[in-house]
Amino acid sequence: MKTYDIVIVGGGPAGLAAAVAAKEAGNDSILILERDHELGGILNQCIHNGFGLHTFKEELTGPEYAYRFIKQVLDLGIEYKLNTMVMDIAADKTVTAMNREDGMFQIPAKAVILAMGCRERPRGALNIPGYRPAGIFSAGTAQRLVNIEGYMPGREVVILGSGDIGLIMARRMTLEGAKVKVVAELMPYSGGLKRNIVQCLDDYGIPLKLSHTVVDIEGKDHVTAVTIAEVGPDRKPIPGTEIRYTCDTLLLSCGLIPENELSRSAGVKMSPVTSGPVVNESLETNIPGVFACGNVLHVHDLVDYVSEEAKRAGANAAKFVKEGEAKSGEVIELFATDGARYTVPSTINVDRMDDLLTVRFRVGEVFKNSYVSVFFDDERVMHNKKRIMAPGEMEQVILQKSKLQESKPKKITIKIEAEE
């Protein structure tokens, strides 16, 4: 088997952008391993528009956005293998994979980039009572059936969860002639973008019921009806609030989970908050030379941010192959408290950071007219007012290398503070 310097696990938006950046940083020995039969990942089925406003300054559909990167990979002559499943990544960065042409094979890589993406939270993880009939799909599965295969999963639809994929599918099913009866959301707010609530639900008169969940599914062979009920602040159903909808389809859009089985078995340290690897300023995990980017690292709402993050991972992997492990530099730890849930990265080695470093994070609830504050040890160095912050929208602060070199903090804390 041929050997490669950099093996990239996953050929979606993160893997493609990482490959391009690693190549542009001077590495000519890159291999992308993709389990699907084509490059592009989940973007291929996201046929709606709104991608790429940050990266290309125009609104593209998912397949168009993916193709911009696929074309770069092809033009740069970067190697890739399709229909190839990675079975294991060892701590010494030996990647074991298999496909029909090569059988099982091993590549002793110098650097590995984790770009496996995420998957949808399945019904089994949601504790919905009722039978287990046909007609229950994750929103993403339904999206693939409709947009890629050209099949309709059903005609009368109830959707649980108001994440963006659920909202997008409410519109998509409606356009294809289905009747979407209701979207139920457990939380008192939607996890989806406002634009999607207006253009996917309001446009078609589809009701969104916040603080509601599914309490019963009827039908033995196929779904015949779904009952939803209001939930209290404890998220438990309130008796007497049940509404029954006859339907043949239930779509689930209840969150995404980074797909990290390979990372875990490699010994990569994980964050319990993001379910993704803990990374430093170079997007490198606790295993030197193993990098992570995109939805496997933390779930994003904008692909533009995935591409940007993945470029950094790719460039840093190429740098690692050339220069090896970091030997010097103080490591500063980052903490998220008071409403901020996590930060990516978790640590910063000032010697190795770029002049400007984007730190991304999410908030745990909706905050209005609040401040994002950054503390170097106990000193507040940034205090940015935000009109609104919501769990569904990723936030960021930008740190300057020169400031960190000047004040040499031991730790950096990001907090959400109310108006004084």
Partner 1 sequence: MEKRDLTCIGCPMGCQITVELEDGEVISVKGNTCAIGDKYARNEVTHPERTVTTTAVIEGGDKPRVSVKTAGNIPKDKIFDAMKEIDSTVAKAPVHIGDVLVKNVAGTGVDVIATREIGVK
Contacting residues toward partner 1, per CB under 8 A: 44, 47-49, 59-61, 63-64, 67, 146-150, 172, 175-176, 193-195, 197-199, 202-203, 387-390, 392-393
| CA–CA distance, 198 with 289 (Å, rounded to integer) | 44
- Whether residue 373 contacts residue 415, with contact meaning beta carbons closer than 8 Å, is answered with yes
Closest approach of partner 1 to the CB of residue 357, in Å: 25
Residue among 288 and 391 whose Cβ is closer to partner 1: 391
Q: Which is nearer to partner 1, 235 or 368 (CB)?
A: 368
Using an 8 Å Cβ cutoff, are 321 and 344 in contact? Answer: no
DSSP E strand stretches across 76-207: 79-81, 85-89, 94-99, 103-108, 111-114, 118-120, 136-138, 156-160, 179-185
- Which residues partner with 373 through β-bridges? 383, 415
User: Which residues lie closer than 8 Å to 197 by C-beta, 6 or more apart?
Assistant: 162, 167, 190, 208
Nearer to partner 1 by Cβ, of 58 and 88: the residue is: 58
How open is the CA angle 231-139-272, to the nearest 5 degrees? 70
Q: At its nearest, how many Å lie between partner 1 and the CB of residue 387?
A: 6
| CB closer to partner 1, 63 vs 288 | 63
Beta carbons of 339 and 363 less than 8 angstroms apart: yes
- Nearest approach, Cβ of 101 to partner 1 (angstroms)? 18
Min. distance of Cβ 195 from partner 1 in angstroms?
Answer: 4
Q: How far is the CB of 47 from partner 1 (least distance, A)?
A: 4
Comparison of 151 and 265: residue with beta carbon closer to partner 1 = 151
Q: Which is nearer to partner 1, 60 or 223 (CB)?
A: 60
Contact 277, 291 (CB under 8 A): no
Identity of the residue, 168 or 229, whose beta carbon is nearer to partner 1 in the bound complex: 168
Q: How far is the CB of 252 from partner 1 (least distance, A)?
A: 23
Q: Cis omega (within 30 of 0) on the bond before 233?
A: no
CB nearer partner 1, residue 155 or residue 264: 155
Q: In whole angstroms, how close is the CB of 353 to partner 1 at the nearest point? A: 29
Residue type for position 169? M
Q: Which H or E element spans position 134?
A: none
The nearer residue to partner 1, 68 or 401, going by C-beta atoms, is: 68
User: Is 274 in a helix, a strand, or coil?
Assistant: coil
CB of 91 to partner 1, least distance (A): 39
Q: Distance of alpha carbon 397 from its chain centroid, rounded?
A: 19
Scanning 99-248, the segments in alpha helix (DSSP H) are 139-144, 164-175, 194-196
Residue 192 C-beta: closest distance to partner 1, Å: 10
- Of 210, 205, 215, 269, the C-alpha closest to 239 is 215
